[in-house]
Structure 1
Amino acid sequence: MDDEYAQRFSDALVSEIKAEMGRRDLSSRGLGRLIGKSSQYMSDRLDGGNSKTGKRVIINVADLFAIASALGIDPTTLTQRAQLEAASPSNVVRGRFGVAPLAQDDDLEAVARPTDPEPTDEQ
């Protein structure tokens, strides 16, 4: 496993945690309260990173289990989602509510193409 993949996985894990937080309308501060940690602790791991170093602190196993428990989700589910995202970063869209595959041009045409013919003046 290379350093680049490890960084993508770490970023994807944070993305998945934030997606679950978004689904529950839960802030970093609120999640911190649920797991007994400060808002700064959560910010260091999920947001801008450590104020002294400017780097995000990597989520450890204890954090992962506490966060997953607070979100009511199995930690394996979070890591599997992150693994999928990290394995193929070029074909996903990251957003507040997780990741989704990019639509292919054919998919877009199928959605945009009407299924019924346009009515004419004679109809």
Structure 2
Amino acid sequence: MDNEYLQRFTDALVSEIKAEMGRRDLSSRGLGRLIGKSSQYMSDRLDGGNPKTGKRTVLSVPDLFAIADALGVDANDLTDRATAAAEGAPDNIVRGRFGTNVGAPAEDDLDAVARPTDPEPTDEQ
């Protein structure tokens, strides 16, 4: 693996974790409390990174599993979503809440949704 891919994967993994945090209205500090880590520890991994170096610390495997457990998601789902993002998943893929990939609706499906099948109401109805 090249360094560029690893950076994309790391960024995507952090994005997936932050998305799950957002769904739960959970801050980095709150997540840190759940897994027994300081707010600085979490910031170094999820936010802007270490203020001295300006680089984010890469998540360890134990960190990933602790975070996933605290968020109530499977670590494999997080890494699968990050992998898809890092590999440049096609634009027509919509990621579901639990990482399920669902193809984009066909044009006919969109037309069916856009056109109501019920007639317009009249004064008699």
Which TM-score tier does this pair reach, normalised by the shorter chain?
0.7 to 0.9
For structure 2, the 5+ residue unaligned runs are: 98-103, 118-125
**Correspondence for 2:82:** 82
**Correspondence for 2:17:** 17
TM-score of the aligned structures, taking structure 2 as reference length: 0.74
Aligned CA distance change for structure 1 residues 111 and 57 (closer, same or farther; 3 Å): farther
**Residue 51 of structure 1: CA displacement?**
1.4
Percent of residue pairs bearing the same amino acid type: 75
Q: Which runs of 4+ in 1 moved over 6 A?
A: 110-115
**Correspondence for 1:50:** 50
Matched AA of 1:68: A
**Correspondence for 1:70:** 70
Q: Deviations over 1:3-62 (max 9, x none)?
A: 110100000000000000000000000000000000000000000101111100011101
Hey, which of these two has a bigger chunk of helix by percent?
Answer: 1
**Correspondence for 1:2:** 2
Higher relative contact order (CA 8 A, sep 6+): 1
| Number of residue pairs the alignment of both structures matches | 121
Q: What is the root-mean-square deviation of aligned Cα atoms in Å? A: 3.2
Distance in 1 separating the partners of 2:29 and 2:87: 30
Q: Deviations over 1:47-103 (max 9, x none)?
A: 0101111100011101000000000111000000000010007849xxxx9xxxxx9
For structure 1, the 5+ residue unaligned runs are: 98-102, 116-123
